Amino acid sequence: MEPLELYIHIPFCVKKCLYCDFNSHSGGPEEQAAYVDALVREMDWWGRLIGGRRLTSVFVGGGTPSWLDYPLMGQIFAAVRRNFSLTEDAEISLEVNPGTATGEALTAYRRMGINRISIGLQSANDEELALLGRIHTWNDFLRTFENVRAAGFSNVNVDVMTGLPLQTEDRLKKTLQMVTMLRPEHISAYSLIVEPGTPFYEKYAGDLARRERGEKTLELPDDNLEYALYDLARTFLRGRGYGQYEISNYAKEGCACRHNLGYWERKPYLGLGVGAASLLYDSFMDISPAAGKGAAQRISAYPNLRFSNIRETDRYIDLWRNYDPRQQADLDEVLADAPWIDSKTVQKLTCREAMEEFLFLGLRKTAGIQETDFFNVFGLPVGSVYGPVLESQTKRGLVSREGGRIALTRKGTDISNQVLAEYLR
């Protein structure tokens, strides 16, 4: 049986950050306990359907998973082990926010088998942290980082952000210097995206409009500065021995995040909890393929069923409170009637859509994709499907195509959204 990756969503945070549009809210102890109860029931339900499947990675994200009382995390991992089989070298990550994980909790996480911690720092500058509405200071982060190391974690990620309001190159460089001095194994450096519906969206509406018109902005970086900040992070981190393996991700040798690589390589994954997304095989779900016979045969070795859980925590808790996970799991429920799955999100990809994803996601990795992998999955040479796009992008210096490998060039990486969009029809 093909192994799976498992994602578990914890939708609770101490307080909402001003730029955040993730599925999270502050929830009291009772709601948290009820949520974990529901999560465990969902896991048991899947366990009846695909129980015993090998897991190569587990990622507990949020939200702020470390804000759950750690015995609740213990219940979650007991359910993981009850329902699935972790491979010996499985990567098991947990997201932690500074100030929310005590030494005792971190030691307990280690005992649960968690072997990778991802800490949301975002900036080493306390003014920037306050502007973002983060709950912590740099010193809070330092204490958490020390606790993480003291608990024995040797695989640690630190998240930083570029493109912050009023951020200068000097400020970003200082953040990167302070973070790299601690020698985490992995650093993610994502650009701030101001999402509709967030307090930042209202606050920076004027700057967003100015940016759109190509005019000088007041607080948000304009396009040129945004690029300069991204480029600074890339150059600085590479100079400190962090290899860039994806547009926004850097790691010491051998420390790339396997779970995230799985997303970009379109490995199948199961998402549990509110709003969590899944990508599974239709053949594995025993659903007859709608595509033509040839396409169906080729694609049957490839995950092509996407869906997400409902996003409302109270509804999710209520549903599972009244649902008996011991009743016979029905495969068709996954697509049609499972009340915790948002039916609007259920999508069975056509062969063409799966090909688009293969390129769109695979080219995010600096290593790009192997042409033979494309052929092995789809039974067609990549050139026979994307020849004109590849030829045009190669001529424009956006992708390189050498030795059977296709990858974005530096120029292509700089405008990756545009380049990758050309593979979508």
* Binding region for ligand SF4 (CB under 6 A): 13, 16-17, 20, 22, 24, 62-64, 97, 120
Task: Match 């400190």 to its residue by tokens.
Answer: 240
Beta-bridged to residue 42, according to DSSP, are none
The least CB distance from residue 13 to ligand SF4, in Å, is: 3
- Whole-number Å distance between alpha carbons of 366 and 351: 25
- Whole-number Å distance between alpha carbons of 298 and 200: 45
CB closer to ligand SF4, 161 vs 299: 161
5: closest CA among 44, 53, 46, 47? 53
CB closer to ligand SF4, 13 vs 382: 13
| Encoded tokens for 220 | 């948000």
- Whole-number Å distance between alpha carbons of 120 and 64: 9
The least CB distance from residue 260 to ligand SF4, in Å, is: 16
CB closer to ligand SF4, 20 vs 257: 20
- Whole-number Å distance between alpha carbons of 62 and 67: 10
Task: Match 């329902």 to its residue by tokens.
Answer: 83
Q: Are 199 and 133 in contact (CB under 8 A)?
A: yes
368: closest CA among 240, 261, 278? 261
250: closest CA among 267, 235, 264, 262? 235
Q: What contacts 59, CB < 8 A, 6 or more positions away?
A: 5, 6, 7, 8, 93, 259
The least CB distance from residue 64 to ligand SF4, in Å, is: 5
The least CB distance from residue 26 to ligand SF4, in Å, is: 9
CB closer to ligand SF4, 135 vs 351: 135
The least CB distance from residue 63 to ligand SF4, in Å, is: 5
What is the identity of the amino acid at 248? S
The least CB distance from residue 23 to ligand SF4, in Å, is: 8
| Encoded tokens for 263 | 């997303």
| Encoded tokens for 363 | 């080219």
The least CB distance from residue 21 to ligand SF4, in Å, is: 8
The least CB distance from residue 217 to ligand SF4, in Å, is: 22
Beta-bridged to residue 382, according to DSSP, are none
Q: Are 307 and 277 in contact (CB under 8 A)?
A: yes
CB closer to ligand SF4, 137 vs 409: 137
CB closer to ligand SF4, 159 vs 185: 159
Question: Is the four-CA dihedral 167, 168, 173, 174 of positive or negative sign?
Answer: negative
The least CB distance from residue 406 to ligand SF4, in Å, is: 34
CB closer to ligand SF4, 117 vs 280: 117
The least CB distance from residue 53 to ligand SF4, in Å, is: 28
- 140: Cα separation from own chain's centroid: 24
The least CB distance from residue 60 to ligand SF4, in Å, is: 13
CB closer to ligand SF4, 120 vs 368: 120
